[in-house]
Amino acid sequence: MLINITHRNKKLSLRKLVTADVPVLLKWLTNPKILEFYEGRDQKFTPSLIRKRYISKIKLKDFWPGIIEQDHQPIGYLQFYAVNKEGLIEYELEYKPDTYALDLFIGESALWGKGIGSKVLDLVVKYIFDKRQGKRMVIDPHLNNLRAIRAYEKVGFKQVKILKKHELHEGVWMDCMLMVRENK
């Protein structure tokens, strides 16, 4: 376990992704509500593709894929990773070692709007700053994903700039909002 906390009388935890998580990822990554903002509704996920895109990253050195659990039940996915110099050039940010990026989604739509994502985000950012000596966190939600942008602002991320045509999503190059949180 990376993190264990209580939020609204529910136990939240974050653990590393394992091969046995393929079925739950398949459930989430075939849900159009999730795919609207994460991966895209034009993606056709299979167990094989999930193993290739997600499970294969388990052993990467600077990449941490995980499952968010509530009361020991999987409810979402989170990944964070060190951003190399080339990645910072893509964001047009000055090089700063120990910069991390993160992505996440709550896979159970009935739990949206309950503050879980913000709580997990806040704890992961603190973990990266305190335990991994991270200096900066970056995240780049689609500009039209207002719910995500509000959640990131709630935990201290600042809007830095719009990244024009930054991510191909459902056949369209989407504008994204680059958001940054500095370790003070």
User: What is the domain-level CATH number for residue 68?
Assistant: 3.40.630.30
Give me the domain span that covers residue 13.
3-182
- Counted domains in the chain: 1
* 8 — pLDDT class (breaks 50, 70, 90): low
* pLDDT for residue 9: 59
What pLDDT is stored for residue 86 in this prediction?
81
Residues in a beta bridge with 115: none
Tens-digit pLDDT profile for residues 34-84: 999 889 999 999 999 999 999 999 988 889 999 999 989 999 999 999 998
Q: Is the pLDDT of residue 3 over 70?
A: no
Confidence at 87, pLDDT banded by 50, 70, 90: confident
Proportion of the chain above pLDDT 70, given as a percent: 95
Which contacts (CB < 8 Å, 24+ apart) does range 87-96 have? 91/138, 91/140, 91/163, 91/178, 92/161, 93/138, 93/160, 93/178, 93/180, 96/135, 96/136
- pLDDT value of residue 2: 65
What is the per-residue pLDDT for 4? Answer: 60
DSSP states of the chain: --EEEEETTEEEEEEE--GGGHHHHHHHTT-HHHHTTTT-TT----HHHHHHHTGGGTT-TTEEEEEEEETTEEEEEEEEEE--HHHHHHTT----SSEEEEEEEES-GGGTTSSHHHHHHHHHHHHHHHHS---EEEE--BTT-HHHHHHHHHTT-EEEEEEEEEEEETTEEEEEEEEEEE--
Identify the pLDDT of residue 88: 79
Could you read off the pLDDT of 133-159 as tens digits, one per residue? 999 999 999 999 998 999 999 999 999
